[in-house]
Structure 1
Amino acid sequence: MQYELPLIEGTLIKRYKRFLADIRLQDGSEITVHCPNTGSMKRCAEPGSKVWISDSANPKRKYRYTWEWVEVDGKYRICVNTSRPNQIIGEALEARAIEGLTDHDSLQREPKVEDGRLDFCLMFEDGRRCWIEVKSVTLLEEDNGLGCFPDAVTDRGRKHLLRLQALKEEGDRAVLLFCVPHEGIREVTVAEHIDPRYAEALRAVVASGVEVMAAEVSFADDDSGLEVCGVLPVVL
């Protein structure tokens, strides 16, 4: 995934009202930007952090700029824009760049299911299907490489797990795919201390045959984009 325009560096002043953040640019000016992340952003929204924002180049938009990345612990870049993981994973699936998800004949985005939509469906000429739900992992609570999901209680996430389980029971393949746009995460686990009901549901659906995978994301050295660069272990 490549950005159309170079990202702009700044410093986070504060995030507020969920969708807004005040940023101080390198020239000392201050602007309000759109924060495309409805989650808790635990450890990702500390005032004084280095951030990167994108420019829509649309002066008519209420908030022209969008918060994309943040640096934590003075060394790890994280993509906090929750619209990016599906873009990154979609491109990787099309390029057959995710180990274990490479032999499909076609790809459907946001396929309809009984009670809503999932993120992707891989389809095969013989009629087989592989359903995929993508979740972004951005929480590293300690500098030990172990990333956690979720970073807040998520009833919606639990609903997605149950839908994957139902599709698996109908005979399809079902995958929960963690997208990890965090340079400090080396493996992924479930945040049982944050949402024990989600953790219980995840272990139950895995026992029923739902697969859990994690895709590692790399950041371009020139800050121009993001791409899947491998897979990471998931520890449940």
Structure 2
Amino acid sequence: MKFPAPLVSGRLVKRYKRFLADVVLDESGEEITAHCANPGSMLGLKEPGSLVWLSQSDNPKRKLKYSWEVIEADGALVGINTAHPNKLVEEALIDGRIPELAGFETLRCEVKYGKNSRIDILLEQADASKTYVEVKNVHLMREPGLAEFPDSVTARGAKHLGELADMVREGHRAAMVFLVQRPDCAKLSLAADIDPNYAAAFKAAAEAGVETYAIGCDVRLDGIDADKDVALAIS
């Protein structure tokens, strides 16, 4: 995934109200408010003074011109925009970077299923069999090299796991793909101390036959690619 235009650098003043971030731009010294497309806690990724990069929009209808894309943390570039993971996983699937989910005939996004929900990606084979793929963004790292999910309580995430398990019971395949938007993690685990209910829902889904995969990212200032192996460290 390429950013459509060069990113603008700045220093983070604060992230607040979940979707807003004040940033002092490096070039002009102006303090602006950027959109933060991330509903999580962003634990470890919102330290004031951190170097960040923003994209710009020329859409006159947008209230906020800038969107926060990347932060420098723990010596690495980390992607924080949760609008990107679905596209990144879609690209990875098309390129065959998740071999266990290769061999599909068609790929569709945001398809209605379950109880008034939409699956992130639906893979369909020539024999009409289906694989339901849910994508979760990951960027929490509390221990060097170990990515963790979630970074805050997510009742919605637990609901998704239950719906994936339902698809397996109906005779389909279902998979959870954790997209780690940072290059410095070789393993992924669940942050059960942050959300024990999600950990319990994950265990139940796995026992029902929901598959789990993780893939890491090369985060650059011109784009992001999901192309790194991440091992599962989930007991």
Smaller-chain TM-score bracket: over 0.9
The equivalent residue for 1:49 is 50
Take 1:60 and 1:119, find their aligned partners in 2: how far apart are those partners? 27
Counterpart of 2:86 in structure 1 is 86
Residues 213, 231 of structure 1: 8 Å contact kept:
no
The CA distance in 2 between the partners of 1:16 and 1:219, in whole Å, is 24
In angstroms, what is the RMSD of aligned CA positions?
Answer: 1.2
Which residue number in structure 2 is paired with residue 26 of structure 1? 26
- Residue number in structure 2 paired with 1:231: 229
Q: Matched residue pairs, number?
A: 232
Distance in 2 separating the partners of 1:18 and 1:152:
12
Q: Which residue of 1 aligns with 2:69?
A: 68
Give the TM-score, by structure 2 length.
0.95
Stretches of structure 1 lacking an aligned partner (at least 5 in a row): none
Read off the aligned partner of 1:229 and give its amino acid letter. Answer: D
Contact preservation (8 Å) 1:98, 1:230: no
- Is 1:178 matched with 2:178? yes
Q: Identity rate of aligned residues, in percent?
A: 42
Any conservation in 1 of the 2:150–2:190 contact (CA below 8 Å)?
yes
Number of the residue aligned with 1:130: 131
SS in 2 for 1:140: strand
1:192 maps to 2:185: no
**Whole-Å Cα distance in 1 between the matches of residues 91 and 143 of structure 2?**
31
Q: TM-score, normalised by structure 1?
A: 0.95
Comparing 201-210 with 56-65, which one deviates more in the overlay?
A: 56-65
Q: Aligned partners of 1:226, 1:155: CA distance in 2, in Å?
A: 28
Q: Tell me if structure 1 keeps the 8 A contact 2:176–2:210.
A: yes
Question: Is the CA contact 1:98–1:228 (under 8 Å) kept in the aligned structure 2?
Answer: no
Q: Which runs of 5+ in 2 are unaligned?
A: none
1:181 maps to a residue whose letter is Q
* 1:70 CA displacement: 0.8
* Conserved? CA contact 1:98–1:231, under 8 Å: no
